[in-house]
């Protein structure tokens, strides 16, 4: 099975086969990530964002588009489980998350 990867702005979704073990807490629905500067959001209607061990994972039960006000839409994110990563950039003081 080929695991999918999607990139939109500063958000990177990396498909994983199963959620990691550990206590799960649903932290939000529909909004994959919020923009720190613009307040715009990366959205997939119908998804759940689950936190396990301080990391966030996206659970999607059917193929759906990912939208954002400032980026081209991804027409169909495949159903599955994804690790959510925020792109980082290097500075002499260390790595920082890219702000959108």
Q: Indicate the SS3 state at residue 23.
A: coil
Per-residue pLDDT at 27: 93
Is the CB of residue 29 less than 8 Å from the CB of residue 47?
yes
* Phi, psi angle pair for 30, to nearest 5°: 70, -40
What is the per-residue pLDDT across 31-68, written as a single tens digit (0 to 9) for each?
999 876 667 899 999 999 999 999 999 999 999 999 99
Query: Where do the structural domains in the chain lie, given as residue ranges?
Result: 1-14+24-72+89-100
Is the whole model's pTM more than 0.95, yes or no?
no
* CA 78/CA 25 separation, integer angstroms: 23
Per-residue pLDDT at 40: 84
Q: Point out which residues pair with 74 in neighbouring strands.
A: 66
* CA 83/CA 56 separation, integer angstroms: 7
């Amino acid at each position: 099975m080929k695991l999918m990867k999607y990139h939109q702005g500063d958000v990177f979704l990396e498909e994983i086969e199963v959620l990691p073990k550990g206590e799960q807490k649903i932290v939000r629905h529909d909004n994959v990530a919020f923009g720190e500067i613009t307040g715009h959001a990366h959205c997939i209607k119908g998804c759940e964002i689950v936190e396990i061990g301080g990391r966030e994972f996206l659970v999607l039960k059917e193929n759906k588009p990912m939208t954002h006000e400032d980026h081209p839409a991804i027409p169909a994110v495949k159903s599955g489980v994804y690790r959510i990563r925020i792109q980082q950039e290097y500075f002499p003081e260390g790595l920082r998350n890219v702000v959108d």
